[in-house]
Amino acid sequence: MTTYNHMKPGLFNVGSYQVSGIPWITGSTALTPGSEDRIVFPRTVRSVTVINTDASNDDVLVHFNATGSGNVIGGLHFVALNSNNDSVSFGVKCREIFISAPLTNSGSTSYTAIGELTNIPSDQMFHLTGSGLTD
């Protein structure tokens, strides 16, 4: 008798990342100077893309922790998108990202965030912290 082991989706299951991800898109047109949006994905993602869609070329900052946790801004643990249609893609597993607008922006900023969802429940994903993220 042959038995088959069925692997379930999980953080360390390679197949969970080899298949095409499920698209998930959100955004905002009302990110005010000095504010921050927390984007929580319904499942762990295998990649994230953020696009600055602000016509006035205000900055959008993308980071993996809140600006108030650790040294995110002072330690330069973010990517700045400085102009309309500027974008960044991360091939990383995560359950959330943060998008903020510097106080120096002229007004409300807009962006689009795209996640490539896996079948891994987000509660299995560990919190991203430490060197290069909050230290």
Contact between 63 and 128 (Cβ < 8 Å)? no
H helices of 15-74, in order, are: 15-18
Residue 124, SS3? helix
Is residue 59 a part of any domain in this protein?
Answer: yes
Is residue 35 a part of any domain in this protein?
Answer: yes
What is the per-residue pLDDT for 13? 86
Low-confidence ranges of the chain (pLDDT < 70): 1
State how many domains the chain has.
1
Is residue 13 a part of any domain in this protein?
Answer: no
**Residue 82: domain span:** 20-124
What is the per-residue pLDDT for 15? 86
pTM of the model: 0.92
11: tokens are 């953080």
Strand runs labelled E in the chain: 22-31, 36-52, 60-63, 79-81, 87-90, 94-100, 109-121
CATH of the domain at 29: 2.60.120.10
Q: Report the chain's terminal Cα–Cα distance, integer Å.
A: 54
What is the per-residue pLDDT for 1? 63
Sign of the torsion angle spanned by Cα atoms 36, 41, 44, 45: negative
